Structures are given as structure tokens and as C-alpha cells.
Structure 1
Amino acid sequence: MGADKASGRRDGRARFSATRLWEDLDEQWPSLKFLGFGAYYAWIFLCYNSDVLFGWAGSAVGSDAMFAMYLASTAALGVVLIAAGVFHNVATRIVESRSAVLSMAGVAAVTTLTAAWSSPSGSQDALFMVSCALTGVGTAFVALRLGSVYSTVGARQALMYTAGSFIFAGMLFFVCIGLPHPVGLLATAMLPLVATAFTMAATRGPVAPSEDIVPMCELPRGYFVRLAVSVVVFSVIAGVTKGFMALQQPLSTVTDQGVIIVFATACTAVLLFVLVGLLVREFDTSQLYYPIIILACLGNLAVPLFGGFGVIQGELASIAYNLFILMVWCLLANVANRTDLAYASVFGWGRGASAAGTTIGWFAGSSLAPLLLENPSNMVAFAMGMVFVLLVVSMVVLNERTIGQALKKTRNSQANQAACDPSSGERSDGGAGGFPREGAWTKSCNALAEQAGLSLRERDVLFLLAKGYTIEHIAGELGISFNTAKSHIRNVYAKAGVHSKQELQSLIEERKGALQAGAFR
């Protein structure tokens, strides 16, 4: 009996230590978890822009193996993600279980190897098709796990992290294609597990107060539906070009073309990272929208010039699609972070729309290829039709102005957080003499700051700490480094005579209660 109790105490300490380890890791390296997106996208790059999976079998495997895998895997991915969007409560419980997501990532890793091993049999082999479909099922939960991580940041921070992840994905791509066959294939198969491992350090921060959440009904009418429709249309058009090209080029040339696509995507990500991180503090993600649409249109407009869908068109379409996913991922993060929609619904429907669109596009492109190749004029007309659809969607369904309005609404909500009394909803824009009108909560914070002798920056940190925000959020909100924010927090605790965020919040609540009772006048 005593041994059982001792064992239970040891197990409890072990569980506590493991949880504390993840929390400490997230606190020390808050950006680490976002690199999971890079490992996830590196897996996509390697599966569909290289011959790492199928090149080992030589001529025994044709380009139809990659085509079959894409259709089976991405169709399953889309179905699972859309189902997660519908049943978001169930999906959330699965995604927030580390063991469950690791298991699904393991399924994706094993079935990637199985698909590569059984690829000589091609689409006629049941094991190959089932393995391909299961890679989609496994990576769907990896994508949702990444969505839960990205839902903790706004659009601008998401853009920084996603750009950095695309750079990381490019590095992993070039490492894996440079490794000898067995090692490169094994490394590629392990990437879903690597992506999930990065997210293990993620700890869900405090839920934002209800006053800080923007209801979806306050955004431009049908904003999320418009976003999903635009994702589907863009993905279909990109998929058509990819599907057409996949059947027109031998497997041996896929890696050469993939190198150009991944390198160009990574270089663009570097430029965005530098631009947003160092040069433009108020970069609006909506400014990426039309340049991406123009790049996609150029790929189709080049069809008459080159007499058909050639390598350049495929590369431009792929690069534009990768950049479109970068932008959309940031917009989805903003919706999940700042509105009342559950992140499983946002990323389930958003990423699911992308998967469904590209699946339909690849199938349509491969089906239309014989008809288009018979008559070049049909190809030109089809390409111009896709340009027309892109322009209609970008100007009518979802345009830059609509995206900008949504971002402005959520950004204004974030900027006004410090101007609201979280308890009473009082705003700070109506005081006499042009000064803010303070609510009870704000007055108690200011009184504590005065008594403790806090500097102006420490006062800002006090307000954000009192609202329950993490060190990472405070650093991003104030535009300072993580270590600087941590130093300010340490000073606030010392000067206020508390040792934790909970003690600080309790102290402020006590002062607020006393103030409302008339003790602080």
C-alpha cells in the first residue's frame, strides 16, 4: 500500500515535471513552436516537388504515381479538415492531446514510407492508395495542431512566423534532396513527426477577455465565407496548372523544377521577413493580395506567348500558390485569434478549402489535358478564362479593401484594449479636458503604478500583465524583445511586492474593490 502511494507521488512529480518542462521551453523559445509549419510544408514540397519518394525505383515508377498520391492524400486531407471544421469541439479535444496528435503524425510518417515502397505497383495497388490516403488523414491533424499554435497570434506576427517557416521549409527541402536515397526518404517521412514535435512546447495562453473578441458579424459581410470561396477558386486554378503539368513531364524532371519553385518561394519569404520585421512596423497583410493575383495571372497570360502550358507557367503557378497559402494562413490566424470562431473551425474550413480546391484542380487539369493538347487555341481560351475568373474573384468576391477592413477592425480592437475597463466596459475617450476617463480597473492599475514608482514602460507592462497576457504577447504588443519584456516583468513584480501574475491580479482586484467602496478617492 505504501509502495503504491510512493509510486503515485513519483508519477505525479514526473507528470508535473514534464508539464513544467514544456512550459519553460515555450517561455525561453516562444518562436520554436512556429517552426513546425516549416517542417510540415517541407513534407509537402518534397512529396510533390521532388522525386525523393518515387525516384528510387527508376523507370518502374512514372509521374502517375505522384499524381495518384496527390489526389488520394489531398482528398483525404480535405475531407478530414472540413469534418473538423464542422465538429470543431471534438477536433479541438483531439488536437490539444499531445499523444493523439503525435500518433496521427506517426501514421503520416509510416504511410509515407509505405506509399514510397509500394509505388512501383502504382494506382492499381490497394496498399499504395490506402497509404496515400492515410498520409492525408495524418497530416490533417498536424495542420490543425499548427492552426492551434497560430491562433495565439495576430496577422502581422503570423506573417513573420510563416515567412520564417517557409525559409526553414526551403532549407529542409534542399537538405533532404541532397541526402542519399534511403536517408533522404526516411528524413522526408519523419517530417510530420518533426512538425508535431515542434508544437509540443505550445501552451495555450489565457483566453482573451470577451471585450477583446470581435464578433464575426462585425467584420465585412460574409468575410470568412468570401475568404474560403477565394481559397477554393485560387486553389482550383493552381491545381489545374499543376495537374496538367504533372502528366506532361517525366518524374526525373520534377526535382529540377521543384528546386526553382522552392528556391523562389524561400527567397520571397526572406524579403517579406526583412520587410515586415525590420523595415515596416505597420505592414498590412492585405497588400500581398494583388501582387499574388497578378503573379498567378502572369502564369496563364504566358500561355499564348509560349504556345501552351510550359515549365514557366507551372513554376509561376506554384510560386503564386505558395505565397497565397502564406497570406491565407496569416489571415486565418487573425480570424482565429481575434474573432469568436473556434480555431478548429477556422483552420478546418480554411485549410480544407485549399485541399479540396487543389484536388479538384489536379483532377480537372489531368482530365482536360488531352482535349487542350489537341488544339492550341483551346488551351489559350482556357488560360484566358482562368485569368478572368481570378480577376472576378479578386475584385468582387474578396478584394484587398475587404481584407484590409477586416484587419483594421481586429487591429483597432487590439489597440483599444488598454483603453477599456475590462470589468465595466468603460472606454477612455470621453474624459474632461481631453484626458481619458478612467474606469475602476484602470484607476486601480494607475494607483498601484504610482505607489510602486513604475516607469512608463513598466506601467505598460503592468496593464498587460494584469490582463493575463503572456511574456510573448507583451513583447509583441510593445515592440520589444522577449528578454526585455521579461526584465520589465521582473521589475514590476519586485516594485509591486508580488511574486506572480496571479498575485498581481489579486492585488489590483483588491484595490478596485476598495475604490468602488470609496476607500480610494
Structure 2
Amino acid sequence: MTKIRMGQNVPHAFGACSQTMITIGLAGLLAWHSALSNYLFAPSAGMAISPLFAAFFSASLLVAYCYASYRADSTLLSHARLAAWFIACIIAGSVAACLIAARLLPTWSIYVAAVVVGFSWASCAFLWAGIAANSSLSDTFLNLACALVLASAADLFFMHGGDVRSVIAAPFFGAVSLAGFLASLGDSIMPNDQILVRPQNTRTYMRIAAAATLFAGALGVTAGSTAHVATEIEMATINENVSTVALVAGIIALGAWLILRNRATFIGALRVFVPVIVGIMLLNIVALDRAQIWLAATLFSWRLLCIIMFGLLVSVSKRGVISLALIFPAGWSILSGGYALGTLIGQSLCPLYVTDSQSMFVVVVGVAMTTVIGAMLMFAGNAESIIPAESPCPELEPSKSSVGENTGGEKADRAGIVTLDDFVEPPNSPQIAETAESARKGPLDEACGKVAATFHLTERESEVMMLLIHGHTRAAIAKKLFISENTARAHVKSIYSKLSVHSKQQLIDYIETKTKA
């Protein structure tokens, strides 16, 4: 089994068959998200607070759930628990969505079901990010582009199949995503290094978070105002238009990858997305005769923003500065929270003030200006400094420390901030060379590699185990790997738990038996 360290790009972590399963699974995830969202629009008509708000607000709680879970159990990200979590989310989200679509719930229960739907979607996106993190960024871009094409085509197919086919869309797509996830999970791990180092270019992260919130909020206003007056017949037409736009966008993204290959990046996609969405907002003002087209493009833009941010968050985790288990829930919660706030404004406040065409014009201009401000924030500085550039030959790149590298971005205020310079030695540090050299010697180290593969140890846990059997203390391990002693203890505890040993001597004895096998 291939073990992948955060910050290390490995383009062939999965074979061709596995990449196909990832693409199918991601297509199921995108189509599932589309079905869940479509079910929530019609019940929102005329309500003061939209079920859309409840759904996306609950999605923003992912970061709190993950933080509490990891604090309680550092081994939460085992294969069995990941599979159980995904299965539970798919079942719960699909059942809740079907109950909403079939109009079998009283009004108050719709909000409860919406909360379940939103949190389930966010959780599944997070779990799929763990799979994507083990592929190269180029493969992830290709997988998502193909998935968008497949998901859009499947959406259109189910929309033309009558009420029955529309209702079963969510459980069907959920089952497809589940099958792809379970097939891919067997060949991968979720990167779960517990990294608490604050990145040096903090302002860049904060600026991008603010921009994403503004983008999501602006798109949420459009969704909320649409949901307020939506009927099932109108939404059927709108949803079909949205899926058609999604299909075109997926084909364009796939074509971009075929032309650019390794040069196709998520930050590049974001640079294209930003002016396009600003243009769409402006077209809502100057070309009202094509309002249905611009509305469909605007509603699809939220789904496209989710896809791009999915790739960006995975990309940032590969920098190695912050764990995927921390950056993805935080980033996704910011995105979902901004969209939830936007839907609340669009659903409850806009109808109060929009009484004529002039008032509507003012609202549209306000949304467009919000998007422009978000664009200015997004690219006011060097956003690429937090995204790793993928080498044409990533397999030849040296391994990076899991606490990351100094990106050379904006200088942090040293007062009260722990920066990477406090932890990271220069690339040619003799300690790093010594650790890398020791990892290449002897049958004991080969036995460690076999044990790590058998028990699904992370790359960092494999390094800690190797140093343990060579007699290093936890303090020495922390110093050599540039991590805190608490983090070193957490890794040792996780190793002991996975191998069912209780001391360093038992670990050494077990490894030695493997050298004789």
C-alpha cells in the first residue's frame, strides 16, 4: 500500500482503474449535491427563512465537529471509521432529501431534514478530499472535470424521467459515490498529521477566506431570492438550465486539461472563474431579456465555486503547512457559512425591499459590487504562495517535512505568532540528511516499511516508528522531525494502538520478528 505524506506530490498513487473509480465516485458526489440542493428550493417558497439556510449553516459546523472529534480521538481517521462515517452520511442525507422531495414532512421537520442534508454533504466532501489528497494535483483536476461532465449528463437524464426518477436521484447518486469511495479507500489513507503550526503568510489565508465568503454570500443572495418565489414547475426549468450550463463548463474544463495538462491548476481555474462570475453579475443588469440564462449561470456558479475550492483546499494541504484534517473543514465551513448568510439575506430581506424594478436593480448592483470586492481581495497579493507548484516530474522531488516549508510570503507579525522559521531547518540541514539516510539502511528499516503498510500507518507515523526502533526518545524524535513533543507523543500513541503494543520494547521485539520472517 502506498503511503503519502502531506506536501509530497505523488502522481501515481493510484492506478488507472482506481483513478476511474475516483472519477465515478466524484461524479456521484457532484450529482448527489445537485439533487440535494434541487430538493430544497421548492419547499423554500414563501418562507421567512429558507431551508437552504439551514442546510448550508449546518455544513459550516463541520469544522466544530472535526475539531471536537480529533481532540477526543487522534486515531479517528482509520479506514473503518472513514467508511462508516461516509456510509452514515450517504444514508442519512439521501433519506432526508427523499422525504423533503416527497413532501412527507411537516414544516418544522423540513428544517431538521435540511440540517441533516447539509452536514452530510459537507462530511462527504471532506472524506472525498482525503482520497483526492493522495493523487497528483493534475489527476485531481482531471478527475473533477470528468466528474462534472458525467454528473451533469446524469442530472439531465434523471430530470427527464418524471417524478419517480427525480425522487430516487439522491439515493442513486449517493450509492454511486459510496461505491467509488469504498473502492478508492482501500488504496489510500487520509492524511492526518496533527499540525498546529500557524503559517507565516497568515494575511494571505485571511484575505482568501474573506474573498471566498463574499463570493459565496453574493451567490447565496441569488439563490435565496430565487427560492423565495420558486415553484416546482419553475425550478424544473431552472434546474435543467443549470445542468446544461454545468455540462458545458465541464467540457470546457476537460478541454483545458487536455491542452494544458500539468499546467492546469485550481488557482488558474479560480483566476478564470472570478472575472466570469463578475461578468455574469453585470449581465444580469444590462441584459435582462436573457435573465433565465444568467440566473442558471449564477446558480451553477455556486457549484463551480465548491469544486474549485475543493481542489484549492486539497492543494493547500499539499504545501504541508497545515493538515488537510484542519484546513478542509475550516475552509469548507467558511464557504458554506458565507452562502448560508447570503441565502438568508436573499430569502428574508430582499423581498422586503424589492418592490419594483428599480429596487431590484439596486439589489443586483449590490450583489455585483460584492463580487467585485471579493475579486479584489482574492488577487490583491500573491495567492499562489500558499499553493504548491507541481513539478513536471513530481516523483523526483525530495520529500518535504510535514510541518511545511517557508513559502516566502508576507512577513508575519512576530508578536505572539509561531512561524515556520521557528521550526524548520534549511533544506540542506544535516539533521534532515541524517534522518533520510537512516531511513534507507538495514533490514530493520525494510521491516518497518512492511509493518507500516500492513497497519496503514501514515508517513509521519512511519518515520516516528523508525526512529523509535533505533532508540530515540520522544524528545529526540520531536527535535529531529521539527514537531512538538506533544505531537510526537500523539504519533507514538497512535502507533501503539494500531499495532496493539504497549511499550517501545514490545514494538522493537515485534519489528525484529518481521526481519526474520
Separation in 2 of the partners of 1:399 and 1:134? 35
Alignment partner of 1:148 is 2:130: yes
Tell me, yes or no, if structure 1 residue 77 matches structure 2 residue 59.
Answer: yes
1:334 maps to 315
1:85–1:346 contact (8 Å) kept in structure 2: no
- d(CA) in 2 for partners of 1:32 and 1:263? 24
Question: Does the CA contact (< 8 Å) of 1:421 and 1:440 recur in 2?
Answer: no
1:444-459 alignment to 2 at 5 Å? none
59, 83, 90: which one aligns with 1:105: 90
After TM superposition, the structure 1 = structure 2 runs for residues 304-383 of structure 1, keeping only pairs within 5 Å, are 304-306=285-287, 310-383=291-364
Where in structure 1 are there 5+ consecutive unaligned residues?
1-23, 56-60, 430-437, 446-464, 470-521
Corresponding residue number in structure 2 for 1:461? none
What amino acid is aligned across from residue 131 of structure 1 in structure 2?
A
Q: Tell me, yes or no, if structure 1 residue 185 matches structure 2 residue 174.
A: no
Superposed, 1:129-140 pairs within 5 Å as 129-140=111-122
Residues 245 and 222 of structure 1: is their aligned pair in 2 closer, same or farther, counting only changes over 3 Å?
same
Give the 3 Å change call, closer, same or farther, for CA 280–401 of structure 1 in structure 2: farther
Asked whether the 8 Å contact 1:84–1:91 carries over to 2, the reply is no
Give the conservation status (yes or no) of the 8 Å contact 2:131–2:189. Answer: no
Residue 391 of structure 1 aligns with which residue? Answer: 372
Paired AA for residue 93 in structure 1: L
The question of whether the paired residues in 2 share the 8 Å contact of 1:153 and 1:337 is answered with no
Match of 2:458 in 1: none
Which residue of structure 2 lines up, in the alignment, with residue 248 of structure 1? Answer: 229
3-state SS, counterpart of residue 262 of structure 2? coil
Question: Equivalents in 2 of 1:216, 1:319: separation in Å?
Answer: 34
Q: 1:164 aligns with which of 146, 149, 164?
A: 146
| Match among 14, 34, 37 for residue 45 of structure 1 | 34
Q: How big is the shift at 1:88? A: 4.2
User: 2: CA distance between counterparts of 1:95 and 1:444?
Assistant: 25
1: CA distance, partners of 2:34 / 2:305: 15
Shift of 1:307: 5.9
The 1-side partners of 2:57 and 2:64 are apart by 11
Match of 2:414 in 1: none
The one of the two structures with greater contact order (alpha-carbon pairs below 8 A, sep at least 6) is 2
User: Could you tell me which residue of structure 1 aligns to residue 275 of structure 2?
Assistant: 294
- Decide whether aligned partners of structure 1 residues 272 and 307 sit closer, same or farther in structure 2, where only a CA change above 3 A counts: closer
Counterpart residue type for residue 222 of structure 2? T
CA displacement at 1:427 relative to structure 2: 6.2
Structure with higher helix content: 1
RMSD: 4.4
Deviations 1:87-131 (A, max 9, x none): 54559726841123212321112222222333574x3xx333322
Instruction: Please tell me whether the aligned partners of residues 58 and 115 of structure 2 are also in contact (alpha carbons under 8 angstroms).
Output: yes
Paired-residue identity, % = 12
Give 1:237 shift. Answer: 0.3
Instruction: Please say if residues 34 and 146 of structure 1, whose CA atoms lie closer than 8 Å, have aligned partners that are also in contact.
Output: no
Looking at structure 2, the residues matched to 209 and 332 of structure 1 have their Cα atoms a distance apart, in angstroms, of: 15
Q: What per-residue deviation string (whole Å, max 9, x for no partner) do you get for residues 321-355 of structure 1?
A: 23222221111111223324222322212222222
| Counterparts in 2 of 1:77 and 1:387: CA distance versus 1, 3 Å | same
Equivalents in 1 of 2:170, 2:319: separation in Å? 35
Structure 1 counterpart of 2:364, one-letter code: A
Q: Distance in 1 between matches of 2:192 and 2:91?
A: 36
2: CA distance between counterparts of 1:40 and 1:364? 28
Any idea what the Cα deviations from partners look like across 1:296-339, whole Å, max 9, x if unmatched?
A: 22233234425699433422312332322222111111122332
CA distance in 1 between partners of 2:224 and 2:374 (Å): 22
**In the TM superposition, what whole-angstrom CA distance separates every residue of 1:423-449 from its partner, at most 9, and x where no partner exists?**
xx99699xxxxxxxx99978999xxxx
Q: Give distance in 2, aligned partners of 1:313 and 1:207.
A: 39
Q: 235-244 or 352-361, which moves further after superposition? A: 352-361
DSSP-derived class of the 1:238 partner: helix
Query: CA–CA distance in 1 between the matches of 2:435 and 2:329?
Result: 41
Structure 1 residues 443 and 415, CA, compared in 2 at 3 Å: closer, same or farther?
farther
Q: How does 1:25-64 map to 2 (within 5 A)?
A: 28-49=17-38, 63-64=45-46
SS in 2 for 1:118: coil
Equivalent AA in structure 1 for residue 35 of structure 2: L
The SS at the match of 2:135 is: coil
Which residue number in structure 1 is paired with residue 408 of structure 2?
Answer: none
Which one of 222, 241, 250 corresponds to residue 269 of structure 1?
250
Partner of 2:495: none
Matched positions, count: 408
**Distance in 2 separating the partners of 1:361 and 1:240:** 4
Unaligned runs of 5+ in 2: 1-12, 402-424, 441-448, 454-517
Shift of 1:233: 1.3
Equivalent-residue separation in structure 1 for 2:157 and 2:189 (angstroms)? 38
Q: Which amino acid aligns with 2:127?
A: R
Deviations 1:162-217 (A, max 9, x none): 1111112112212222334224312323433432221112146479999xx99762
Question: Which protein is bigger by CA-based radius of gyration?
Answer: 1
Q: Which amino acid is the alignment partner of residue 248 of structure 2?
A: C
